[in-house]
Structure 1
Amino acid sequence: MVNFNGTILENNALFLNETNRGLKYGDAVFETIRVVNSKIYFWEEHYLRLMASMRILRMDIPMNFTMEFLQEEIISTITSNKLLENAVRVRFTVFRDSEGLYQPVTNKISYIIEVSSLQNSFYTLTENRYEVELFKDHYVNSGLLSTLKTNNKVVNVLAGIFAKENEYQNCLLINEQKNVIEGISGNLFLIKGKTIKTPPITDGCLNGILRKKMLEILKNFPDYEVQEASVSPFELQKADELFLTNVIQGIQPITKYRKKSYRTDISKQLVGRLNAFVRLL
């Protein structure tokens, strides 16, 4: 069951057509949200990021788009799919609902809510092989638009195809300055000695919800210096530990990059801290 503008429809219902601007121009933004037993993780942060993204793209924000209204719509969709007591992945997509070519006729919007079940209610850490490689065929341009969750993710798609073809578990994306900015679907953290680095938003990485939470949690690691600073490809092979973060998976340690293997000590500590954090939400 899918929620289209407040109406619950069957998954095979036809409710979009060739005029959809999200399809034609990538004129859409979305949030990927984790919900467990009807508790929406980091809901305020997701809501504020969605509102900010819509403003940046000059979409009209309906008067009824309050936190409470959208929360009710999400829970209603989960309930309709009989997943209220499960761990759930939610994708909330907003697209400009307008005729026109590159220039839209209006800035009015429509929204779609999709849900699917997740295997684990808690964030878990897997230490299975997780090898990555740099994706160098195309760059992500640094700048504000790259920090948003828009439907313009063709670089991520091509990186995913490259990873599958070459039997990597993920790829690391780089910007036009050839700095490493993130994984295909997660923010990057690098640990070297007593320094923990994550690329800055100004380098073009996603303004990730869990990235922010990790920075908050890492403040309680007094023996480490936390930096938001550019990461060069050279630093990857000098690092002691690398991991990726997103709100669905939590923390994903990277075990290998080229000839370098990494430990997972801090990742193990952080997943426990993260689960303790979300229990207080």
Structure 2
Amino acid sequence: MPGSLIYNHQIFKNSERIIGAENRSFRFGDGLFETMRVVDGSIMLAEYHFERLFEGINKMKFDAVSGFNITKLADEILMLCKKNKHDAAARVRLTVFRGDGSLTDPENLHPNYLIQTYPLAGPDYAWNETGLKIDIYGGAIKVADEFSAIKSNNFLPYVMASLKAKEIGLDECLLTNQYKRIADTSIANAFICKDGKLKTPALTEGCVAGVMRRFLLENFNVDGSKIEEGGIEIEEMMDADEVFLTNTVRGIRWVEKIRNKTYKNDIAKKIFRELNRKMR
């Protein structure tokens, strides 16, 4: 792939090798990442992204390192977007990981980081006119624990759910937690709507602490009612009037079908339009 990336303050061509076989992220998934949206030279919801990132860094016991801070990372993200000519609309992946070492003997606990940018079609979110067809993946669970809200590099349940969706010709798969309740999907948080009331799995249910999820929780209501956080049983989702998925890059995507259940999109479309207005 043409273009450049940034690895630990330095610019490299995308084609250059930057980590070796002893890297702990490669060997053990020892790291975390953020997927951000840049529009017209600005990082959308930057405060939310960096707050989540550094909470995860602290929880994963990385050492503090001089020069590794929000201001520096934000500046390098925007510089790379401009260099790659992606600053009008881009998807950015910022990956933070430990360096080389065995599982029990890392060389150090310093954060290494990698910034990559990819072009997006336009600055606004696009509505999916055709609703998503999804299912519930039964091959793995998303364990609700101290680390489940982190966007971890250890992504195996999501990888397998995504592969299963592709294998059976669907757009996405939901994952459940150890309590057999809905957690999230391979790349998004899930919301349901029943009788005009919105609900999404609480962070204690094992979902990733999605930035778009947080933005909706803090900035949206339906007819004066705030979005509820809690446990969502599979039967409750199947009985809902609407289901939609959210993430920072794609915004809101409505679900048309789960198995043999068909859903509407009235509330989802209303929130989608308001989201595009708020993000301008």
Aligned partner of 1:78 in structure 2 is 81
Return the offset for 1:61: 2.7
- Match of residue 214, structure 1, among 209, 212, 216: 216
Aligned partner of 1:10 in structure 2 is 13
After superposition, residues 40-55 of structure 1 pair within 5 angstroms as: 40-55=43-58
2:92/2:117 contact within 8 Å kept: yes
Aligned partner of 1:61 in structure 2 is 64
Q: Report the TM-score, using the length of structure 2 for normalisation.
A: 0.95
Question: Is the partner of 2:175 in helix, strand or coil?
Answer: strand
Return the offset for 1:223: 4.5
Aligned partner of 1:120 in structure 2 is 122
Aligned partner of 2:187 in structure 1 is 185
Using the alignment, how far apart are the partners of 1:256 and 1:152 within structure 2? 29
Using the alignment, how far apart are the partners of 2:19 and 2:69 within structure 1? 25
Question: Is the partner of 2:147 in helix, strand or coil?
Answer: helix
Aligned partner of 1:203 in structure 2 is 205
Using the alignment, how far apart are the partners of 1:194 and 1:223 within structure 2? 11
Aligned partner of 2:256 in structure 1 is 255
Q: Give the counterpart letter for 1:247 in structure 2.
A: T
Question: Is the partner of 1:239 in helix, strand or coil?
Answer: coil
Question: Is the partner of 1:60 in helix, strand or coil?
Answer: coil
Aligned partner of 2:22 in structure 1 is 19
Return the offset for 1:24: 0.5
Greater shift, 242-251 or 270-279, is seen at 270-279
How many residue pairs were aligned?
Answer: 277
1:33/1:46 contact within 8 Å kept: yes
Q: Which runs of 5+ in 2 are unaligned?
A: none
Cα deviations across residues 105-140 of structure 1 (Å, max 9, x unaligned)? 321121100000011210121121411100011111
Using the alignment, how far apart are the partners of 2:227 and 2:74 within structure 1? 33
Over the matched positions of the two proteins, sequence identity in percent amounts to 32
Greater shift, 19-28 or 266-275, is seen at 266-275
Using the alignment, how far apart are the partners of 1:53 and 1:225 within structure 2? 27
Aligned partner of 2:140 in structure 1 is 138
Cα deviations across residues 56-101 of structure 1 (Å, max 9, x unaligned)? 00001323223221111101111221222x2100000011124233
Greater shift, 101-110 or 188-197, is seen at 101-110
Using the alignment, how far apart are the partners of 1:173 and 1:71 within structure 2? 32
Question: Is the partner of 2:58 in helix, strand or coil?
Answer: helix
Q: Report the TM-score, using the length of structure 1 for normalisation.
A: 0.95
Return the offset for 1:272: 1.6
2:99/2:107 contact within 8 Å kept: no
Q: CA RMSD in A?
A: 1.3
Return the offset for 1:225: 5.0
Work out whether 1:28 is the aligned partner of 2:38: no
